[in-house]
Structure 1
Amino acid sequence: MTIAARFVAAPLALIFFALPAYAFDTKARAAYVLDQTTGTILMDKNAHEPLPPASMSKLMTLYVAFEAIRDGRLTLDERLPVSSHAMSYGGSTMFLDTQDQVRVEDLLRGIIVLSGNDACAVIAEALSPDGTEPGFARYMTQRAEQMGLENSTFMNSNGWPQAGHRMSVRDLAVLARHLIEDFPEFYPLFAETQFEFDGRAPSNINNRNPLLNMGIGADGLKTGHTNEAGYGLVGSAKQGDRRVIFVISGLDSERARAEEAGAIVNWSFRQFAEKTVAKAGEPIAEAEVWMGREQTVSLVAPDDLEILLPVLSSGPLTAEVVYRGPIEAPIEQGQQLAELVITPEELPEVRLPLVAEHAVPYGGFLVKVRTAAELLLARFTQGPAEQT
């Protein structure tokens, strides 16, 4: 006999309190702030709108280059030629010319620290499926979609103003998270404050990221500016065990960008803190079991469950345990059966896994008899079905 699954939501009172954090009224046209440690979105302003990303889109070129190095298609000591097309770029450059054969490591530093448009084009032509920068841009667009970047279309490798070259600030934050988590061996490059290449550009040796020298834990990632895009920044900072990733776009000056970025980092760390919902192995609720040797099983936390909450506190925070059941036996110890769903004010819903405290084997013949008797009794007490 089968039984239709039903949706169960059990209310649960938690032992801590929370108020909404003071809202941050950013001046940026678009902004996105992510607490990487817990995955909590702290700010979302026009975050999915495709916008001109300027040099911030160089992060995608870097990601593809890091993948090529990891896969053995490129090496740090390999020297790449400079085409006349790459040399033709203006703006921020490494002042490369067609006589150069440049080490990949120098090109990466030239992109990260110096924002070299020419360096991006050299990397692009080396890795492009058809040897051209437009071909590389098409590949970047495809790769971005595979990574979950939902509003990103690339027309070139460096963010040079071009119709259709767009990224959302949410996509830039997702990309930044990938760079940090997927390539920890390369991420320290983003904290370098200076890079001198062959003595060619003494006026262009400093990293433009204004946060790196503020002593607030900032260690990346990339600034951007064009007349159309305004001033923007993909930033990340780590204080203690927490890391915050943020993106701002559309500010009207370097000073406004620096002030806004510093204020966002300060707000993110001071107005929010991690709090423990449950300790590993701590029972949270009971779930009903179908055809098992036991009729219920305890739901426990698989690890210490932590969420990010506003620091200020007042009223109680409540949650629900949600599962579809009764859950059919057999059940394995540690099998995920439910979720603890918490919805703090002014923050997105948080869903945390709950697992079976112990195994529940299939009940056998006696349980079948008991279950059949319970179903017959339930039908008897409910009376005959109404005629329609």
Structure 2
Amino acid sequence: MWKKMIIWITAFTLLFPAAAGAAKIKTGQQPAQPVVQLETTAQSAVLMEANSGQILYEKNMHQALPPASVTKIMTLLVAVEAVEQGKVKLEDRIKASENAAGMGGSQIYLEPGEEMTLKDLLISIAVGSANDACVAVAEHVAGSHEAFVEMMNQKLKDLGLKDSKFVNAYGLPAEGHVASAYDLAMILREGMKHPLFRELTSIKEYDLRGGEFKLYNTNKLLWWYNGADTGKTGWTTEAKYCLASSAQRDGLRLIAVVMATPEPRSHFRESIKLYNYGFARYKAVNISQAGQVQGVIPVSKGQVKQVKAVSQEPVVMVVEKGQEKKVTYKVEIPARVQAPIKKGQKIGKLIIMFEGQPVKIVDLVAAREVEAATLNQHFGAIWQKATGIK
């Protein structure tokens, strides 16, 4: 039997994506809303709420297009995870290979045999969009550029992204090297979960080689748009102008991706247009912080008597302004659970409702591991219950 602990709060209503080229609330249990046109010169675009992944606007968001150097958000993500897993260290000194030094396009002009730390190379990718640094990092992390690209494509599979395929780690034109706006938004969303990724992509300028070579971030939204703090640009003749970025205001974090915008700086203009639309129209509410306790459940046959049910990640609802009073939520947890229980094991659920109807369900998990009681502990508990003697 489930015990229902209902917590009614004033919150926000859940909205859903529109058809391509327009932002529109799907009716469902919600009142009909007017279609709001949002024109963009991007061939493909998406505006996403970062915590939930909710789509607020999209235009051809699953169309596979050349991503140019926006590819490098995946390069950075794979490299950052390798650092976190202890496979490589930021202090590692890397010698540039002939292959890395021979790269064209945007670069830091590595010389064959030149040594640079992994951290400086990662900054060169994030800030200066350096193709030669991509190859040097790839070879250090995976042993070869080709093996690193396999890691990038495996990460796509791990994230469940099906529109994209990478042929190289730097984004220069290559047959079959494509990505969708949606996939790039999801890659950036994943990247922002890692502090090192956020640190690298937020750097505006950096002195390389002791100040002999100055890097300026190609993502000009870091200067031009209030709240913008991460992202990656891209341009080739084939891909045109592309940008994946994120900005936060008043607790609402948005991700905007535009692809194949036609002229210089148009990727910044079109991204700002998406952000202005999103921040003007929507609000965010934090229903639950990561790790926030939503209930306490008694434990049978365990080494402790109770376990806390928590949300693993922040639970955020994005809603159109003025719809605040139409959403409630409730927590459902069982009357009792039995040990053993693993940390992170699902033990309940948080149900978000609109006008009394469920629109989203979030798992609640055990905050800690609970081992099964030993035989002595079990008999001790029986003795205590029978005699009242501790």
The two structures have a TM-score, normalised by structure 2, of 0.69
Distance 2:317 2:161 in 1: 25
Contact 2:251 2:285 in 1 (8 A): no
Distance, in Å, in 2 between the alignment partners of 1:330 and 1:143 is 36
Deviation for aligned residue 1:306 = 5.8
Using the TM superposition, give the Cα deviation of residue 176 of structure 1 relative to its aligned residue in structure 2, in angstroms: 0.6
- Give the secondary structure class of the aligned counterpart of 1:205: strand
C-alpha distance in 2 between matches for 1:99 and 1:276: 50
Q: Match of 2:45?
A: 31
List per-residue Cα deviations over 1:193-245 (Å, max 9, x = no partner).
Answer: 1123227875x621111211124100011000111111010100111222111
Give the number of aligned pairs: 308
Kindly state the Cα deviation for residue 310 of structure 1 after the two structures are TM-superposed.
Answer: 1.8
Relative to structure 1, is the Cα distance of residues 305 and 58 closer, same or farther in structure 2, using a 3 angstrom cutoff? closer
* Residue identity in the other structure for 2:144: T
Which residue identity is paired with 1:81? K
Q: Does 1:227 align with 2:237?
A: yes
1:151 offset after TM fit, Å?
1.9
1:65 aligns with 2:79: yes
Q: Is 1:41 paired with 2:55? A: yes
Task: Compute the displacement of 1:111 (Å).
Answer: 0.1
Matched residue type, 2:284: E
Matched ranges for 1:1-388 at <5 A: 19=33, 22-128=36-142, 131-181=143-193, 183-198=194-209, 205-274=215-284, 307-311=317-321, 332=336, 336=348, 339-340=351-352, 342=354, 350-352=359-361
Contact 2:47–2:56 under 8 Å retained in 1: yes
Deviations 1:28-72 (A, max 9, x none): 111111112343211122111221111001111111111111111
**d(CA) in 2 for partners of 1:78 and 1:233?**
30
- What secondary structure, in the 3-state scheme, does the structure 2 residue paired with 1:213 have? helix
Change (3 A) 1:195 1:330: closer
Residues 116-146 of structure 1 deviation map (CA, whole Å, 9 limit, x = unaligned): 0000000111122xx3212221221122211
Amino acid at match of 1:120: C
Separation in 2, partners of 1:103, 1:16: 47
Q: For residues 274 and 62 of structure 1, do their structure 2 counterparts lie closer, same or farther at Cα, with a shift above 3 Å needed?
A: closer
Residue type of the partner of 2:254?
V
Tell whether the 8 Å contact from 1:188 to 1:219 is kept in structure 2 after alignment: no
State the secondary structure of the residue aligned to 2:148.
helix
Deviation string, structure 1 residues 174-203 (Cα, Å, up to 9, x no partner): 11111111x12441221111123227875x
Listed as ranges, the gaps of 5+ residues in structure 1 are: 1-13, 283-301, 324-328, 344-348, 356-388
Question: Could you tell me how far apart the structure 2 residues matched to 1:219 and 1:15 are?
Answer: 27
- Structure with greater Cα Rg: 1
CA distance in 1: counterparts of 2:315 and 2:78, whole angstroms: 34
Q: Distance in 2 between matches of 1:184 and 1:273?
A: 25
Matches of 2:286 and 2:165, distance apart in 1? 40
Segment of structure 1 superposing worse, 188-197 or 64-73: 188-197
Shift of the 138–38 alpha-carbon distance from structure 1 to 2, 3 Å rule, reads closer
Instruction: Flag the 1:105–1:338 CA change in 2: closer, same or farther, 3 A.
Output: closer
Following the alignment from structure 2 to structure 1, what is the Cα–Cα distance between the partners of residues 216 and 198? 18
CA distance, structure 2, for counterparts of residue 319 and residue 33 of structure 1: 25
3-state SS of 2:223 partner: coil
TM-score, normalised with respect to structure 1: 0.69
Q: 1:305 to 1:259 in 2, by over 3 A?
A: closer
Unmatched runs of 5 consecutive residues or more in structure 2: 1-9, 14-30, 295-310, 338-345, 365-390
8 A Cα contact 2:12 2:319, kept in partner:
no
Q: 1:312: how far off?
A: 5.4
| Alignment partner, residue 28 of structure 2 | none
- Retained in 2: the 8 A contact 1:95–1:201? no
Query: CA 1:133 to 1:164, structure 2 compared with 1: closer, same or farther past 3 Å?
Result: same
Taking a change above 3 Å as real, the CA distance of residues 184 and 305 of structure 1, as seen in their structure-2 partners, is closer
Could you tell me how far apart the structure 1 residues matched to 2:184 and 2:322 are?
Answer: 30
Q: What is the aligned-residue identity percentage?
A: 30
Can you list the C-alpha shifts for 1:346-384, whole angstroms capped at 9, x where unaligned? xxx9414599xxxxxxxxxxxxxxxxxxxxxxxxxxxxx
Letter in 2 for 1:198: R
- Compute the displacement of 1:281 (Å): 12
Q: Distance in 1 between matches of 2:238 and 2:12?
A: 46
Residues 12 and 318, structure 2, Cα contact 8 Å, conserved in 1: no
Q: Check conservation: 1:134, 1:156, Cα contact below 8 A.
A: yes
Residues 218 and 330 (structure 1), Cα distance of their counterparts in 2 relative to 1, 3 Å cut: closer
Q: 1:213 to 1:16 in 2, by over 3 A?
A: closer
